[in-house]
Amino acid sequence: MYQLSTLDNGIKVITERMENVRSVSIGVWFRVGSRDERAGQYGLSHFMEHMFFKGTANRDALAISQDFESLGAEQNAFTSKEYTCYYARVVDDRLPAVMGIIADMLTGSLFDQASIDSEREVVIEEIARSEDTPDDYVFELFSEAAMPGHNLGRQIIGSRQSVGSFMQDDCLAYREQHYHAANCVVVACGSLEHQAVVELAAELLDKLPAGRHSLRDDAAVKSLPFKLLQKDTEQAHMIYGLPGISAADDDRFAATLLDTALGGGMSSRLFQEIREKRGLAYAVYATTVSFVDAANFVVYVGTRPENLEEVAGLVRSELARMLSDGMDAQELRRMQDYVIGRTVLSQESTAARMIRLGSTAVNELELLSLDETIEALEAVSLDDVQRVCQRILGEPPTVAVISPFATDDLQARLQGLMA
Protein backbone atom coordinates (compact mmCIF):
# COMPACT_ATOMS: atom_id res chain seq x y z
CA MET A 1 0.00 0.00 0.00
CA TYR A 2 1.29 3.46 -0.82
CA GLN A 3 1.97 6.30 1.62
CA LEU A 4 1.43 9.98 0.77
CA SER A 5 2.87 13.16 2.29
CA THR A 6 2.77 16.77 1.13
CA LEU A 7 5.80 19.02 1.64
CA ASP A 8 5.55 22.59 2.86
CA ASN A 9 6.00 23.92 -0.68
CA GLY A 10 3.21 21.69 -2.03
CA ILE A 11 5.17 18.80 -3.56
CA LYS A 12 3.44 15.46 -3.05
CA VAL A 13 5.67 12.52 -2.07
CA ILE A 14 4.27 9.03 -2.63
CA THR A 15 6.07 5.81 -1.74
CA GLU A 16 5.30 2.11 -1.84
CA ARG A 17 7.53 -0.28 0.04
CA MET A 18 8.19 -3.60 -1.68
CA GLU A 19 9.63 -6.46 0.33
CA ASN A 20 12.39 -8.77 -0.91
CA VAL A 21 13.91 -6.29 -3.39
CA ARG A 22 17.13 -4.30 -3.13
CA SER A 23 16.29 -1.65 -5.71
CA VAL A 24 14.34 1.60 -5.65
CA SER A 25 12.71 3.29 -8.61
CA ILE A 26 12.41 7.04 -8.12
CA GLY A 27 10.48 9.37 -10.42
CA VAL A 28 10.06 13.12 -10.26
CA TRP A 29 6.88 13.89 -12.18
CA PHE A 30 5.61 17.22 -13.48
CA ARG A 31 2.12 18.02 -14.69
CA VAL A 32 3.31 19.42 -17.99
CA GLY A 33 3.17 17.89 -21.44
CA SER A 34 2.44 18.84 -25.01
CA ARG A 35 -1.16 19.58 -23.98
CA ASP A 36 0.10 22.61 -22.07
CA GLU A 37 1.98 24.25 -24.95
CA ARG A 38 0.89 27.36 -26.77
CA ALA A 39 1.71 28.83 -30.17
CA GLY A 40 5.48 28.97 -30.57
CA GLN A 41 6.00 26.24 -27.97
CA TYR A 42 4.95 23.10 -29.85
CA GLY A 43 7.39 20.34 -28.92
CA LEU A 44 8.94 22.37 -26.08
CA SER A 45 7.83 19.98 -23.30
CA HIS A 46 9.73 17.16 -24.99
CA PHE A 47 12.66 19.43 -25.82
CA MET A 48 12.92 20.46 -22.15
CA GLU A 49 13.14 16.78 -21.20
CA HIS A 50 16.26 16.55 -23.36
CA MET A 51 17.73 19.80 -22.11
CA PHE A 52 17.58 18.92 -18.42
CA PHE A 53 20.33 16.37 -19.11
CA LYS A 54 22.64 18.92 -20.79
CA GLY A 55 24.38 20.52 -17.85
CA THR A 56 24.06 22.47 -14.61
CA ALA A 57 26.38 24.79 -12.70
CA ASN A 58 27.71 21.67 -10.93
CA ARG A 59 27.86 19.12 -13.76
CA ASP A 60 28.17 19.23 -17.53
CA ALA A 61 26.27 16.70 -19.67
CA LEU A 62 29.10 14.15 -19.53
CA ALA A 63 29.39 14.43 -15.75
CA ILE A 64 25.64 13.85 -15.37
CA SER A 65 25.92 10.59 -17.32
CA GLN A 66 29.11 9.54 -15.53
CA ASP A 67 27.66 10.25 -12.09
CA PHE A 68 24.57 8.15 -12.81
CA GLU A 69 26.69 5.32 -14.19
CA SER A 70 29.12 5.42 -11.25
CA LEU A 71 26.14 4.66 -9.02
CA GLY A 72 25.04 1.73 -11.19
CA ALA A 73 21.79 3.54 -11.94
CA GLU A 74 19.44 3.15 -14.86
CA GLN A 75 18.10 6.62 -15.69
CA ASN A 76 15.95 8.25 -18.31
CA ALA A 77 12.96 10.53 -18.84
CA PHE A 78 9.82 10.60 -20.94
CA THR A 79 7.24 13.14 -22.03
CA SER A 80 3.57 12.49 -22.68
CA LYS A 81 0.76 14.80 -23.66
CA GLU A 82 -0.14 15.43 -20.01
CA TYR A 83 3.03 14.90 -17.94
CA THR A 84 6.82 14.55 -17.91
CA CYS A 85 8.83 12.17 -15.72
CA TYR A 86 12.53 12.06 -14.78
CA TYR A 87 13.39 8.73 -13.22
CA ALA A 88 16.09 6.31 -12.14
CA ARG A 89 16.33 2.79 -10.74
CA VAL A 90 19.16 2.14 -8.32
CA VAL A 91 20.29 -0.04 -5.41
CA ASP A 92 18.58 1.22 -2.26
CA ASP A 93 21.61 2.66 -0.43
CA ARG A 94 22.42 4.86 -3.43
CA LEU A 95 19.03 6.52 -3.62
CA PRO A 96 20.16 9.78 -1.91
CA ALA A 97 22.99 10.26 -4.40
CA VAL A 98 20.78 9.54 -7.41
CA MET A 99 18.07 11.83 -6.12
CA GLY A 100 20.72 14.52 -5.70
CA ILE A 101 21.65 14.32 -9.39
CA ILE A 102 18.02 14.49 -10.53
CA ALA A 103 17.36 17.47 -8.24
CA ASP A 104 20.46 19.26 -9.53
CA MET A 105 19.23 18.78 -13.10
CA LEU A 106 15.73 20.03 -12.33
CA THR A 107 16.72 23.07 -10.28
CA GLY A 108 20.09 24.01 -11.78
CA SER A 109 20.05 23.31 -15.52
CA LEU A 110 21.64 26.16 -17.50
CA PHE A 111 20.00 25.71 -20.92
CA ASP A 112 23.03 27.29 -22.58
CA GLN A 113 22.46 28.24 -26.19
CA ALA A 114 25.24 26.04 -27.58
CA SER A 115 23.61 22.95 -26.05
CA ILE A 116 20.21 24.03 -27.35
CA ASP A 117 21.61 24.43 -30.87
CA SER A 118 23.16 20.96 -30.71
CA GLU A 119 20.12 19.26 -29.20
CA ARG A 120 17.83 20.72 -31.86
CA GLU A 121 19.60 18.50 -34.39
CA VAL A 122 19.15 15.44 -32.19
CA VAL A 123 15.40 16.05 -31.87
CA ILE A 124 15.05 16.74 -35.60
CA GLU A 125 16.69 13.34 -36.19
CA GLU A 126 14.13 11.87 -33.77
CA ILE A 127 11.34 13.45 -35.84
CA ALA A 128 12.81 11.96 -39.01
CA ARG A 129 13.03 8.53 -37.40
CA SER A 130 9.37 8.75 -36.38
CA GLU A 131 8.30 9.65 -39.91
CA ASP A 132 10.28 6.66 -41.22
CA THR A 133 8.43 4.30 -38.85
CA PRO A 134 4.95 4.09 -40.36
CA ASP A 135 3.45 1.77 -37.74
CA ASP A 136 4.24 4.50 -35.18
CA TYR A 137 3.64 7.55 -37.34
CA VAL A 138 0.11 6.43 -38.29
CA PHE A 139 -0.85 7.08 -34.66
CA GLU A 140 0.27 10.70 -35.07
CA LEU A 141 -1.91 11.05 -38.17
CA PHE A 142 -4.83 9.57 -36.31
CA SER A 143 -4.41 11.96 -33.38
CA GLU A 144 -4.40 14.95 -35.73
CA ALA A 145 -7.72 13.82 -37.22
CA ALA A 146 -9.34 12.65 -33.98
CA MET A 147 -8.63 15.94 -32.15
CA PRO A 148 -7.99 18.52 -34.87
CA GLY A 149 -6.63 21.86 -33.70
CA HIS A 150 -6.31 20.70 -30.08
CA ASN A 151 -2.97 20.12 -28.40
CA LEU A 152 -3.96 16.52 -27.63
CA GLY A 153 -3.98 16.01 -31.39
CA ARG A 154 -0.49 17.45 -31.92
CA GLN A 155 2.73 15.46 -31.96
CA ILE A 156 4.53 15.48 -28.62
CA ILE A 157 7.85 15.84 -30.39
CA GLY A 158 6.85 18.97 -32.32
CA SER A 159 7.86 19.80 -35.88
CA ARG A 160 11.14 20.69 -37.54
CA GLN A 161 10.01 24.30 -37.71
CA SER A 162 8.95 24.61 -34.07
CA VAL A 163 11.99 22.79 -32.67
CA GLY A 164 14.26 24.85 -34.88
CA SER A 165 13.02 28.07 -33.25
CA PHE A 166 13.72 27.29 -29.57
CA MET A 167 16.09 29.61 -27.73
CA GLN A 168 17.44 29.82 -24.17
CA ASP A 169 14.79 32.35 -23.13
CA ASP A 170 12.06 29.93 -24.24
CA CYS A 171 13.45 27.16 -22.03
CA LEU A 172 13.95 29.40 -19.00
CA ALA A 173 10.43 30.82 -19.29
CA TYR A 174 8.89 27.35 -19.71
CA ARG A 175 10.69 26.07 -16.62
CA GLU A 176 9.42 29.03 -14.61
CA GLN A 177 5.88 28.53 -15.87
CA HIS A 178 5.57 24.76 -15.35
CA TYR A 179 8.42 23.29 -13.29
CA HIS A 180 7.21 24.22 -9.83
CA ALA A 181 5.95 22.49 -6.69
CA ALA A 182 2.24 22.64 -7.52
CA ASN A 183 2.95 20.58 -10.63
CA CYS A 184 5.39 18.15 -8.96
CA VAL A 185 4.94 14.65 -7.54
CA VAL A 186 7.84 12.53 -6.27
CA VAL A 187 7.17 8.78 -6.40
CA ALA A 188 9.46 6.02 -5.12
CA CYS A 189 8.83 2.27 -4.99
CA GLY A 190 10.99 -0.53 -3.69
CA SER A 191 13.33 -0.99 -0.73
CA LEU A 192 12.73 2.25 1.15
CA GLU A 193 11.35 4.02 4.18
CA HIS A 194 8.68 6.62 3.48
CA GLN A 195 9.92 9.26 5.90
CA ALA A 196 13.45 9.05 4.57
CA VAL A 197 12.19 9.77 1.03
CA VAL A 198 10.07 12.66 2.32
CA GLU A 199 13.06 14.22 4.06
CA LEU A 200 15.24 13.72 0.99
CA ALA A 201 12.70 15.40 -1.30
CA ALA A 202 12.26 18.28 1.15
CA GLU A 203 16.00 18.87 1.29
CA LEU A 204 16.75 18.58 -2.43
CA LEU A 205 13.67 20.17 -4.02
CA ASP A 206 13.14 23.08 -1.67
CA LYS A 207 14.27 25.49 -4.40
CA LEU A 208 11.17 24.80 -6.49
CA PRO A 209 8.72 27.72 -6.22
CA ALA A 210 5.17 26.99 -5.12
CA GLY A 211 3.48 27.88 -8.44
CA ARG A 212 0.02 26.84 -9.56
CA HIS A 213 -1.57 24.70 -12.26
CA SER A 214 -1.98 26.15 -15.72
CA LEU A 215 -5.48 26.03 -17.17
CA ARG A 216 -6.06 23.36 -19.80
CA ASP A 217 -8.32 23.64 -22.84
CA ASP A 218 -11.50 21.58 -23.03
CA ALA A 219 -10.77 18.39 -24.96
CA ALA A 220 -14.21 18.24 -26.61
CA VAL A 221 -13.54 18.75 -30.33
CA LYS A 222 -15.18 17.39 -33.47
CA SER A 223 -13.14 14.68 -35.17
CA LEU A 224 -12.43 14.30 -38.89
CA PRO A 225 -13.35 11.08 -40.70
CA PHE A 226 -10.04 10.50 -42.51
CA LYS A 227 -6.33 11.28 -42.39
CA LEU A 228 -4.46 9.57 -45.22
CA LEU A 229 -0.83 9.70 -46.28
CA GLN A 230 0.61 8.27 -49.48
CA LYS A 231 4.03 6.74 -48.86
CA ASP A 232 6.05 4.01 -50.53
CA THR A 233 5.57 1.26 -47.94
CA GLU A 234 5.41 -2.53 -48.13
CA GLN A 235 2.37 -2.55 -45.84
CA ALA A 236 -0.66 -0.37 -45.39
CA HIS A 237 -0.86 0.80 -41.78
CA MET A 238 -4.35 1.61 -40.54
CA ILE A 239 -5.83 3.05 -37.36
CA TYR A 240 -9.59 2.70 -36.99
CA GLY A 241 -10.52 4.83 -34.01
CA LEU A 242 -13.48 6.01 -31.98
CA PRO A 243 -13.98 8.26 -28.93
CA GLY A 244 -13.02 6.24 -25.86
CA ILE A 245 -13.36 6.19 -22.08
CA SER A 246 -11.16 8.68 -20.23
CA ALA A 247 -8.78 7.90 -17.37
CA ALA A 248 -11.14 9.55 -14.88
CA ASP A 249 -14.31 7.77 -16.04
CA ASP A 250 -15.95 5.17 -13.80
CA ASP A 251 -16.38 2.94 -16.88
CA ARG A 252 -12.63 2.67 -17.48
CA PHE A 253 -12.41 -0.86 -16.05
CA ALA A 254 -15.20 -2.15 -18.28
CA ALA A 255 -13.52 -0.40 -21.22
CA THR A 256 -10.26 -2.21 -20.48
CA LEU A 257 -12.04 -5.56 -20.65
CA LEU A 258 -13.74 -4.54 -23.89
CA ASP A 259 -10.39 -3.52 -25.42
CA THR A 260 -8.93 -6.85 -24.42
CA ALA A 261 -11.80 -8.90 -25.82
CA LEU A 262 -11.61 -7.09 -29.16
CA GLY A 263 -7.85 -6.91 -29.63
CA GLY A 264 -5.82 -7.38 -26.47
CA GLY A 265 -4.42 -10.87 -26.88
CA MET A 266 -4.05 -13.87 -29.16
CA SER A 267 -7.56 -15.11 -28.37
CA SER A 268 -9.13 -11.69 -29.04
CA ARG A 269 -11.79 -11.35 -31.70
CA LEU A 270 -9.84 -9.16 -34.12
CA PHE A 271 -6.65 -11.21 -33.78
CA GLN A 272 -8.51 -14.43 -34.45
CA GLU A 273 -10.58 -13.10 -37.34
CA ILE A 274 -7.92 -11.10 -39.18
CA ARG A 275 -4.69 -12.94 -38.43
CA GLU A 276 -5.50 -16.50 -37.42
CA LYS A 277 -8.46 -17.31 -39.67
CA ARG A 278 -7.55 -15.24 -42.73
CA GLY A 279 -3.81 -14.54 -42.48
CA LEU A 280 -4.32 -10.90 -43.46
CA ALA A 281 -2.00 -9.32 -40.90
CA TYR A 282 0.89 -9.99 -38.57
CA ALA A 283 0.13 -7.16 -36.14
CA VAL A 284 -3.46 -6.40 -35.14
CA TYR A 285 -4.56 -5.06 -31.77
CA ALA A 286 -6.94 -2.72 -29.96
CA THR A 287 -6.25 -0.37 -27.09
CA THR A 288 -7.42 2.88 -25.49
CA VAL A 289 -5.24 5.98 -25.50
CA SER A 290 -6.61 7.83 -22.49
CA PHE A 291 -6.24 11.31 -21.04
CA VAL A 292 -7.76 12.97 -17.98
CA ASP A 293 -10.89 14.13 -19.79
CA ALA A 294 -10.78 12.41 -23.19
CA ALA A 295 -9.73 9.17 -24.84
CA ASN A 296 -9.53 7.32 -28.14
CA PHE A 297 -10.33 3.66 -28.62
CA VAL A 298 -8.11 2.50 -31.50
CA VAL A 299 -7.61 -0.59 -33.61
CA TYR A 300 -4.27 -0.91 -35.41
CA VAL A 301 -3.67 -3.26 -38.34
CA GLY A 302 -0.68 -3.59 -40.65
CA THR A 303 -1.53 -5.45 -43.86
CA ARG A 304 -0.49 -5.70 -47.50
CA PRO A 305 -2.02 -2.80 -49.45
CA GLU A 306 -4.21 -5.03 -51.58
CA ASN A 307 -5.88 -6.36 -48.40
CA LEU A 308 -6.59 -2.98 -46.81
CA GLU A 309 -10.25 -2.66 -47.75
CA GLU A 310 -11.03 -6.22 -46.69
CA VAL A 311 -9.29 -5.66 -43.36
CA ALA A 312 -11.12 -2.36 -42.78
CA GLY A 313 -14.41 -4.13 -43.46
CA LEU A 314 -13.54 -6.90 -41.01
CA VAL A 315 -12.69 -4.40 -38.28
CA ARG A 316 -15.95 -2.60 -38.85
CA SER A 317 -17.99 -5.81 -38.79
CA GLU A 318 -16.32 -7.17 -35.64
CA LEU A 319 -17.01 -3.93 -33.77
CA ALA A 320 -20.60 -3.98 -34.99
CA ARG A 321 -20.98 -7.59 -33.81
CA MET A 322 -19.72 -6.67 -30.36
CA LEU A 323 -22.12 -3.73 -30.26
CA SER A 324 -25.13 -5.84 -31.21
CA ASP A 325 -24.35 -9.06 -29.33
CA GLY A 326 -22.01 -8.03 -26.51
CA MET A 327 -20.06 -10.63 -24.53
CA ASP A 328 -21.31 -13.71 -22.79
CA ALA A 329 -20.42 -14.59 -19.20
CA GLN A 330 -17.66 -17.00 -20.23
CA GLU A 331 -15.86 -14.44 -22.38
CA LEU A 332 -16.14 -11.78 -19.68
CA ARG A 333 -14.68 -14.14 -17.06
CA ARG A 334 -11.80 -15.01 -19.38
CA MET A 335 -11.05 -11.34 -20.00
CA GLN A 336 -11.13 -10.57 -16.28
CA ASP A 337 -8.72 -13.40 -15.50
CA TYR A 338 -6.39 -12.32 -18.30
CA VAL A 339 -6.33 -8.63 -17.40
CA ILE A 340 -5.97 -9.28 -13.68
CA GLY A 341 -3.12 -11.72 -14.26
CA ARG A 342 -1.36 -9.34 -16.61
CA THR A 343 -1.83 -6.47 -14.16
CA VAL A 344 -0.38 -8.41 -11.24
CA LEU A 345 2.60 -9.62 -13.26
CA SER A 346 3.33 -6.12 -14.53
CA GLN A 347 3.51 -4.78 -10.97
CA GLU A 348 6.32 -7.06 -9.85
CA SER A 349 8.95 -4.48 -10.87
CA THR A 350 9.72 -1.35 -8.89
CA ALA A 351 9.68 0.75 -12.06
CA ALA A 352 6.22 -0.44 -13.12
CA ARG A 353 4.76 0.39 -9.72
CA MET A 354 6.40 3.82 -9.73
CA ILE A 355 4.96 4.59 -13.17
CA ARG A 356 1.47 3.39 -12.21
CA LEU A 357 1.41 5.58 -9.12
CA GLY A 358 3.13 8.57 -10.70
CA SER A 359 1.04 8.78 -13.87
CA THR A 360 -2.11 8.62 -11.75
CA ALA A 361 -1.05 11.05 -9.03
CA VAL A 362 0.42 13.75 -11.26
CA ASN A 363 -2.94 14.06 -13.02
CA GLU A 364 -4.77 14.07 -9.68
CA LEU A 365 -6.73 10.94 -10.49
CA GLU A 366 -7.93 8.38 -7.97
CA LEU A 367 -5.05 6.40 -6.47
CA LEU A 368 -6.01 2.75 -6.14
CA SER A 369 -3.97 -0.03 -4.61
CA LEU A 370 -3.33 -3.15 -6.66
CA ASP A 371 -5.99 -4.99 -4.63
CA GLU A 372 -8.51 -2.20 -5.25
CA THR A 373 -7.77 -2.32 -8.97
CA ILE A 374 -8.36 -6.08 -9.01
CA GLU A 375 -11.65 -5.61 -7.12
CA ALA A 376 -12.79 -3.01 -9.66
CA LEU A 377 -12.05 -5.38 -12.56
CA GLU A 378 -13.81 -8.26 -10.79
CA ALA A 379 -16.89 -6.07 -10.27
CA VAL A 380 -17.44 -5.39 -13.99
CA SER A 381 -20.70 -6.95 -15.17
CA LEU A 382 -22.07 -7.83 -18.60
CA ASP A 383 -24.35 -4.80 -18.32
CA ASP A 384 -21.31 -2.60 -17.68
CA VAL A 385 -19.61 -3.92 -20.82
CA GLN A 386 -22.72 -3.42 -22.91
CA ARG A 387 -23.07 0.15 -21.65
CA VAL A 388 -19.49 0.87 -22.71
CA CYS A 389 -20.16 -0.74 -26.10
CA GLN A 390 -23.05 1.67 -26.58
CA ARG A 391 -20.90 4.63 -25.56
CA ILE A 392 -18.04 3.78 -27.91
CA LEU A 393 -18.82 1.45 -30.77
CA GLY A 394 -21.80 3.24 -32.28
CA GLU A 395 -19.90 6.48 -32.90
CA PRO A 396 -18.60 7.52 -36.36
CA PRO A 397 -14.99 6.38 -36.81
CA THR A 398 -11.83 8.25 -37.66
CA VAL A 399 -9.58 6.29 -40.01
CA ALA A 400 -5.89 7.04 -40.53
CA VAL A 401 -3.87 5.17 -43.14
CA ILE A 402 -0.31 5.24 -44.46
CA SER A 403 -0.15 3.33 -47.72
CA PRO A 404 1.13 3.49 -51.31
CA PHE A 405 -2.35 4.50 -52.54
CA ALA A 406 -3.25 7.96 -53.81
CA THR A 407 -5.18 9.56 -50.97
CA ASP A 408 -8.19 10.84 -52.97
CA ASP A 409 -8.85 7.44 -54.49
CA LEU A 410 -8.37 5.62 -51.18
CA GLN A 411 -10.68 7.99 -49.32
CA ALA A 412 -13.44 7.45 -51.88
CA ARG A 413 -13.10 3.68 -51.53
CA LEU A 414 -13.07 3.77 -47.73
CA GLN A 415 -16.04 6.15 -47.61
CA GLY A 416 -18.04 3.65 -49.60
CA LEU A 417 -17.02 0.90 -47.22
CA MET A 418 -17.92 2.89 -44.09
CA ALA A 419 -21.31 4.07 -45.39
The residues that are catalytic are 49
Helix locations, 326-349, DSSP H: 329-346
Alpha-carbon distance of 381 to 248, in angstroms, equals: 19
**C-beta neighbour count of 388 within 10 angstroms:** 25
Alpha-carbon distance of 22 to 218, in angstroms, equals: 43
Alpha-carbon distance of 228 to 402, in angstroms, equals: 6
Angle (CA) 317-319-321 rounded to 5° is 70
Alpha-carbon distance of 124 to 303, in angstroms, equals: 29
What's the one-letter identity of residue 98? V
407: exposed, middle or buried (C-beta count within 10 Å: 0-12, 13-18, 19+)? Answer: middle
**C-beta neighbour count of 269 within 10 angstroms:** 19
For the chain, the straight-line distance linking the first and the last C-alpha, in angstroms and rounded, comes to: 50
**C-beta neighbour count of 19 within 10 angstroms:** 6
Alpha-carbon distance of 35 to 41, in angstroms, equals: 11
Helix locations, 58-133, DSSP H: 61-70, 95-108, 113-131
Alpha-carbon distance of 343 to 384, in angstroms, equals: 20
Q: Tell me which long-range contacts 211-216 makes (C-beta under 8 A, separation of at least 24).
A: 211/10, 211/178, 211/180, 211/181, 211/182, 211/183, 212/180, 212/182, 213/31, 213/182, 213/183, 214/32, 214/36, 214/177, 214/178, 216/35, 216/36
Alpha-carbon distance of 352 to 346, in angstroms, equals: 7
